[in-house]
Amino acid sequence: MSWLPSLGWGAWLALAIPPLAIVLFYFLKIRRPPVLVPSTLLWTRTIEDFNANSLWQRFRHQVLLYLQLLAVGLIILAALRPGCRGTDLGGDRFVLLIDNSASMAATDVKPSRLDRAKQEAERIVDNMKPRDVAMVISFSDIAAVEQSYTANKSRLKSVVRSIQQSDRYSDLTEALKLATGLSNVGQTSDRESKIDIQVAESLDATAFVLSDGGFARLPDVLLGKLKLDFRPMGDATVFRNVGIVACQLSTLPELNGPIQLFVRLENFSPSTESIDVSVEINGQLCDAKQGVSLATEESTSIILDLAPFIDTAKLPAIVRVSISPNDDLMVDNEAHALLAPVDKVKMVVVSALPSILSKVLTTAKVLEAAEVEFHEPSWLDSTEYQQRVAARQFDVILYDQCAPKDLPNCNTIFFDSVPPANDWSASELQFPAPIVFSSRYHPLVSNLALADVLFLEAREITGPVGTVSLIESTFGAMIAIGPRGEFEDLVIGFPLQKLAADGTTEMVTNWPTRPSFPTFFYNLLTYQVRHGPQRSNDPIPPGQPIALATSSVAASELVIERPDGSRVSTPIGNSGQISFEDTDQLGVYRKVDGSIRQPAFVVNLASSEESNIRPRDSIDVSYQSIAGKAVDRDVQRELWPWLVTLTLIVLGIEWYVYIRRIKA
Amino acid sequence: MTTFLDSERLLSPELIGQLERMELVSRKIFRGQVRGERRSKRKGQSVELADFRNYVPGDDPRFIDWNSFARLDRLFLKLFQEEEDLHFYCLVDSSPSMQFGEPTKYFYARQLAAALGYIGLIRSDRVKIEPICTEIAQPAPILRGRSSLWRLLQQLQSWQPGPAISLETSLRQFVSRNTNKGVVVLISDLMDRAGYESAVKYLVTRNFDIYVIQVLARAEIDPDVTGDIRLVDCEDNSTMDVSVSPWLIDRYKQTLARFLRHASEYFGKRSITYFMTTTDRPLEQLIGGYLRQRGLVR
C-alpha cells in the first residue's frame, strides 16, 4: 500500500479539521431530556470507572458519530489516493490479436495454446480500466474482426471464448493491417499512395499478439501509432512434434509408370524421436515403416512406389499417410494424396492452313495434356460449333487468320486476327518487325529463346485495359494477352504463313523452325492447365481457393462435401466452373452428384512453419524484433474509487440508523 | 385530617386480621418501663424464679424461701423474673427519594411501619414511629395498646416532609432523644450520598436490636430509560449526563448488585438483620413470609 501524493503539514492539519468538527458538532447538537431519578448514587458509581476519562465515556455507543467519522475518514483516505501494486496494460485502446492457426492446437500447454491464448486475453480484458476499449481480431493466414472497439468486458470475453481453432497457416500480416487500419484511422491503406485523406485523429493503441510466433512470412506493415506487445504461447521446454511436411503423388496414372508417393517428415522436437509411418490406400493398409529415427530438427524423405497397390482402372484412389506416436500437434500427423484421372485440355484449332499447327499440336507431349481438334474456318458458321461452344466443351479455341462472330465462353487464341470486340484492334502489317522486348515474367513466353527468330512483318496489337504485352517490336506489341471476364484472349499479330498470289503458301517468319515454337505451344497448354479448372491431383494448403469444373452441362450448382461431412453447394457460372473457397479443413473433399461421391481434391497442412511449434522468443515485424514478455508492467493501482463507494455505503447506513432513531 | 379510607389504605382489614396473630420478637432483653408481657432485666413478681439472695432486714418476708431455711438454717430471699413492656421504634425514611415508585417507596414504608406498629400495639409494646431524614417539629408520641391504632395511623398520614437532612444526622438526633433501648426497625432506601454506615453506628453503639429493611422501587432495579438523557437527582438536584444503552444498563445492575451485597455483608457483621424488598411485593407476603423468616415477627 502506498500513498500519493505525500502531504505537507498544512494539508494534514486541514484533513484533521473535518473529523474534529464532526465530533464538536456532534456533542453540540445533543439535547438531553432531563429525567428525574430518586438518586444518582448508583448511576455515579456505575460510570465512575469512566469518570477519569469522561470524554471517552461520551464516545461510547455513539453509532452515528462513529459512522460519520468513518465516512470522513474514508474520504480523507480517498483524497490521499491510496494504491496498491498492480499491473497495467499501458494505454487505453487495445487490440487483441489471437492466433488460431494450426500450430495453436499444440497441447504442450494444457489444454492447448489457443485456450491459453484465450485465458491470457481474458486476463488482459480483466486488467482493463473502466474506460479502456479493446477489439478482438482472430487470425491465421486471414484475419477476422471478431469484435470491434468496445469497453464491454463481458462482451469481449465472450467473443474471445468463442474463437475457434482452425487448420490454416499463420500469417500476422493481414491481422496487423486490420489493426493498424483501425487504429491509424484516416490513412489510406496504400502505402505508396500520395493521397492521404485525414478523416480523424489517429490514436495510440496497443496490440497484444497472442501467438506462438510461427509465421509463414515476416509481416511488413507500417505500424504507425500501433504498439505491439507479443505474448508468446507455448512451453519451450516440453514441446514435442514430428510432422508430415510434404505428401505428394508424383506421376500420372495414364502412363502406366511408377506411382511414387513422396512423404517428407521433419522432427521439430528438442530430442530425437522414433516414429512409425503407415500408408493406407482407400482405407486399406498397404505399407508401413517402423522406428524411423529422427534427430532434432532433422528431416527425412520416404518414397514409396504405390503402383502395385493401385489399380489404375479403379481410380480415384485416396492415399492416407499417418505417423505415430501422438505428439503435441496432431493435425500434421496425417496427410492425404489423391490419385484421380486428370481431364485433358480440350483445344480446337480453326485454320485454313493447319499444316504447321497440326505438326506442333499433335506431338506426344502435347497429347498427354490435351485433346486437339482441327476445323476449317467455315466450321464457325455450323450449328455444331454453336452447340458445342454453348455446351462449354472447349477450354481454348485457336482462330488462325479467322474470327468468330461472337467470342465463345472459353479462352481464345487469335493468329493474325483480332477478337470481335471493340477494344481489340490491329494495325496493318508492318515491315520489318524485329523483336525488341520479350516478357520475362509471363509464363507463356518467359523461358522462350527468341534470339534467332525473325519476323518479316507483323501487326501492332492493342487491347482492352489490363492487356499485357508479351512480345514487342519497334512499333509496339506483336503478341498481347488481355482479360475478358473470367477468360483470356491471346492475340498474335502475325500469320505463321500466308497464301501467295499464285496460291502457294509462303512463310512470314522462321519461328516454326525454331525450338521455341513448340515450347510456346506447350506453355500454352500448361498455362491452360494451371489457370483453368482444377486438373491436378496435387494437395492444396488449407484455405486456398480452388477452381473446380463440372462435367454436367445441365447442372446449375456444384455440391462439395467437406471432410467433416458438411456439404457446400455453389452456383456454377457461365464458364462451367466454380471457385471453391471453403477449404479450411484438412482431408479429402468430394464432389457430390446425387448419390455419387467422387473425391475432388485433398487439403494437407504440409507446412514446415506450422509444424515447427517451437515457441518463438520474439517476432520480427517491419524489420524490428519484438521480444515476447509474459507479464504486464507493475503500476500503482488506484483504490480511491472503492473508498468513495464505501463512503457512500457508510453514509447510507448512517442515514438508516438516524431514521430509525427518530422513529423510535 | 385522617379519614377512614386513608387509614384503610395503609392497613387493609385482611392485613389487620393477619397481624392480630403476630408479635414482635426481640433477640435481646431490655428493661421496660411498665409491666408488660416481655421478660425484663429487672427482678420482679412474676411466677418465673430468677435467683436467690441473702435476706436483709426490711425485705418482704413473703419471698423468703422457707424450704432453704429448713435445710440450711439461713434466710434466703427468692427473686422472680420481672415482665415488662418492649420499646419498639420504627424509623421511616421520609427523604424525597422515597417518593418514587408505584406505589411510592414512602407509602410502602409507611404501610410497613403501620403494620409493625400495630403488632407492637396489640402486644402492649411501647411503639414509636418516627420519620427520619427530615426535620421534625416535635418527636413522635409513644403509643401503647390496641386503642392507639387510630392515633398511629393518623400520625403516619399526617407526616409532612420538612427540609431534608442526612441519615446520619437524623439517627444521631434519634438516639439522643430516645435513651430507652429496644427494637429499631429502619425502613429506608439507603440512598444517602454520605452513606449509611456512619449513621447506623449510632444505633449499634446504643445496643438496639436493629432491623434494616431497604425498600426499592422496581424502576430502580430495572431502569426504564434509554438514549441520551440528563439524570436529575431529586434530593440535591445534581445532574448527570449519560447515554443509556443496554451495555450501561448491565453495568448499572452490576453496581446495584454490588451495593446490595455490600449492605448485606456490612449489616451481617454487626448482627443487624437486613433485607431488601421492592414496592411491588405484597405487604402480606413481606410480613408473613420474609419478616417472620428473619425473626422480626412470629
Q: Please report the DSSP string for A389-405 in residue order.
A: HHTT--SEEEEES---S
Question: Using only C-alpha atoms, what is the Rg of chain B?
Answer: 23
Q: Within an 8 Å CB–CB cutoff, is residue A501 touching chain B?
A: no
- List A residues 1-30 in contact with B (Cβ-Cβ < 8 A): 30
Higher per-residue confidence, A139 vs A254: A139
CA distance B103 to chain A (A): 14
Q: Within an 8 Å CB–CB cutoff, is residue A62 touching chain B?
A: yes
Relative to beta strand A205-211, strand A93-99 is: parallel
Q: What is the DSSP string of B64-119?
A: B-HHHHHHHSS-EEEEEEEEE--EEEEEEE-SGGGG-TTTTHHHHHHHHHHHHHHH
The whole-number average pLDDT for the span A125-139 is: 87
pLDDT string in tens for chain B (298-residue length): 434 344 447 888 888 888 887 877 776 656 555 555 555 555 556 666 667 888 888 888 888 889 989 999 888 888 776 556 678 899 999 888 888 888 889 999 999 999 989 988 888 788 899 998 888 777 888 888 888 888 888 888 888 777 888 889 998 988 888 877 788 999 999 888 888 998 889 888 888 888 999 999 988 888 888 878 888 888 888 888 887 888 888 888 988 999 999 999 999 998 888 989 999 888 888 888 877 877 777 7
Give the residue among A80, A270, A277, A97 at the shortest CA–CA distance from A182. Answer: A97
pLDDT of residue A3: 58
CA distance A39 to chain B (A): 5
Q: Is the pLDDT of residue A4 over 70?
A: no
pLDDT of residue A200: 54
User: For the ranges A117-121, A499-503, A506-510, which has the lowest average pLDDT?
Assistant: A499-503
Is the peptide bond preceding residue A5 cis, with omega within 30 degrees of 0?
Answer: yes
pLDDT of residue B109: 92
* CA atoms of A396 and A381, how far apart (whole Å): 18
Q: Which residues of A touch B100 (CB under 8 A)?
A: 37-38
Higher per-residue confidence, A112 vs B296: A112
Q: Which residue type does B157 have?
A: Q
Phi/psi for A57 (5° steps) reads -60, -35
* CA atoms of B63 and A91, how far apart (whole Å): 129
Interface contact B247-A60, CB threshold 8 A: yes
Q: Which residues of A touch B229 (CB under 8 A)?
A: 32-35
Q: Which residues of B touch A38 (CB under 8 A)?
A: 96-100, 105, 189, 191, 217, 220, 234-235
Relative to beta strand A425-426, strand A461-462 is: antiparallel
pLDDT of residue B32: 56
Q: Which residue type does A204 have?
A: D
Give the residue from B241, B245, B249, B279 with the most A CB atoms within 10 Å of its CB, the best one to mutate.
Answer: B241
Q: Which residues of A touch B259 (CB under 8 A)?
A: 42, 45
Give the chain B residue whose CA is nearest to the CA of A38. Answer: B97
Phi/psi for B173 (5° steps) reads -65, -35
* CA atoms of A402 and A398, how far apart (whole Å): 9
Give the residue among B102, B133, B109, B112 at the shortest CA–CA distance from B220. Answer: B102
pLDDT of residue A440: 84
Q: Within an 8 Å CB–CB cutoff, is residue A43 touching chain B?
A: yes
The whole-number average pLDDT for the span A30-54 is: 74
Q: How many CB pairs under 8 A join A and B?
A: 83
Query: In this predicted model, what pLDDT tens digit does every residue of A168-195 receive, in sequence order?
Result: 888 888 888 888 876 665 554 455 555 5
pLDDT of residue B46: 60
In angstroms, the Cα distances linking B12 to A378, B41, B145, B157 are 154, 36, 19, 15
Interface contact A32-B255, CB threshold 8 A: no
Q: Which residues of A touch B251 (CB under 8 A)?
A: 46-47
Interface contact A37-B228, CB threshold 8 A: no
- Closest by Cβ to B191, choosing from A39, A58, A60: A39
Give the chain B residue whose CA is nearest to the CA of A62. Answer: B243
Q: Which residue type does B255 have?
A: T
* Average pLDDT of chain A, as a whole number: 82
Q: Is the pLDDT of residue A163 over 90?
A: yes
Contact A136, A121 (CB under 8 A): yes
Q: Which residue is listed with cell 437524623?
A: B170
Q: Is the complex ipTM higher than 0.85? A: no
* Global confidence as pTM: 0.50
Give the chain A residue whose CA is nearest to the CA of B194. Answer: A41
Phi/psi for A91 (5° steps) reads 125, 180
CA distance B188 to chain A (A): 12
Mark out chain B residues that contact chain A at CB-CB < 8 A.
96-100, 105, 189, 191-193, 217, 220, 225, 228-235, 238-243, 245, 247-248, 251-252, 254-256, 258-259
* CA atoms of A479 and A460, how far apart (whole Å): 8
Q: Which residues of B touch A59 (CB under 8 A)?
A: none
Give the chain A residue whose CA is nearest to the CA of B245. Answer: A61
Query: In this predicted model, what pLDDT tens digit does every residue of A225-275 receive, in sequence order?
Result: 788 888 888 888 888 889 998 888 876 544 456 788 889 999 988 888 888
At residue A71 the predicted structure's pLDDT band, cuts being 50, 70 and 90, is confident
Give the chain A residue whose CA is nearest to the CA of B225. Answer: A35
Interface contact A42-B233, CB threshold 8 A: no
The whole-number average pLDDT for the span A105-117 is: 90
Query: In this predicted model, what pLDDT tens digit does every residue of A521-575 receive, in sequence order?
Result: 888 887 876 665 555 677 888 888 887 776 565 667 888 999 998 998 888 766 6
Interface contact B242-A43, CB threshold 8 A: yes
* CA atoms of A75 and A648, how far apart (whole Å): 10
Q: Which residues of B touch A30 (CB under 8 A)?
A: 228
* CA atoms of B159 and A279, how far apart (whole Å): 128
Q: Which residues of A touch B97 (CB under 8 A)?
A: 38-39
Higher per-residue confidence, B36 vs A449: A449
pLDDT of residue B41: 56
Query: In this predicted model, what pLDDT tens digit does every residue of A470-480 receive, in sequence order?
Result: 999 999 999 99
Q: Within an 8 Å CB–CB cutoff, is residue A55 touching chain B?
A: no
- Closest by Cβ to B230, choosing from A34, A39, A61: A34
Give the chain A residue whose CA is nearest to the CA of B221. Answer: A42
- Closest by Cβ to A42, choosing from B100, B234, B252: B252
Q: Which residue type does A53 have?
A: N
Q: What is the DSSP string of A339-372?
A: E-PPPPEEEEEEES--HHHHHHTSSHHHHHHEEE
Contact A134, A148 (CB under 8 A): no
- Closest by Cβ to B230, choosing from A32, A41, A61: A32
pLDDT of residue B85: 65
Interface contact A33-B229, CB threshold 8 A: yes
Q: Which residues of B touch A47 (CB under 8 A)?
A: 242, 248, 251
Q: Is the pLDDT of residue A116 over 60?
A: yes
Q: Within an 8 Å CB–CB cutoff, is residue A33 touching chain B?
A: yes
Give the residue from B222, B237, B242 with the most A CB atoms within 10 Å of its CB, the best one to mutate.
Answer: B242
Give the chain A residue whose CA is nearest to the CA of B244. Answer: A61
Interface contact B232-A34, CB threshold 8 A: yes
Interface contact B239-A35, CB threshold 8 A: no
CA distance A61 to chain B (A): 7
Query: In this predicted model, what pLDDT tens digit does every residue of A629-661 receive, in sequence order?
Result: 755 556 666 778 888 889 888 888 888 877 776
Dihedral class, residue A322 (left if φ above 0, else alpha if ψ from -120 to 50, else beta): beta
Interface contact A40-B240, CB threshold 8 A: yes
* A232 beta partners: A211
Query: In this predicted model, what pLDDT tens digit does every residue of A367-418 receive, in sequence order?
Result: 877 889 999 999 999 999 988 888 778 889 999 989 999 888 888 999 999 9
Query: In this predicted model, what pLDDT tens digit does every residue of A581-603 receive, in sequence order?
Result: 888 889 999 888 777 888 888 99
- Closest by Cβ to A43, choosing from B100, B234, B252: B252
Give the chain B residue whose CA is nearest to the CA of A35. Answer: B231
Higher per-residue confidence, A165 vs A128: A165
Interface contact A43-B240, CB threshold 8 A: yes
Q: Which residue type does B294 have?
A: R
- Closest by Cβ to B243, choosing from A40, A41, A58: A58
- Closest by Cβ to A61, choosing from B99, B192, B245: B245
Residue B160 DSSP class:
-
Interface contact B232-A42, CB threshold 8 A: no
CA distance A647 to chain B (A): 26
Give the residue among B149, B114, B142 at the shortest CA–CA distance from B36. Answer: B142
pLDDT of residue A185: 53
Q: Within an 8 Å CB–CB cutoff, is residue A42 touching chain B?
A: yes
Higher per-residue confidence, A536 vs A441: A441
CA distance B50 to chain A (A): 52
Query: In this predicted model, what pLDDT tens digit does every residue of A429-440 receive, in sequence order?
Result: 888 888 888 888
pLDDT of residue B83: 59
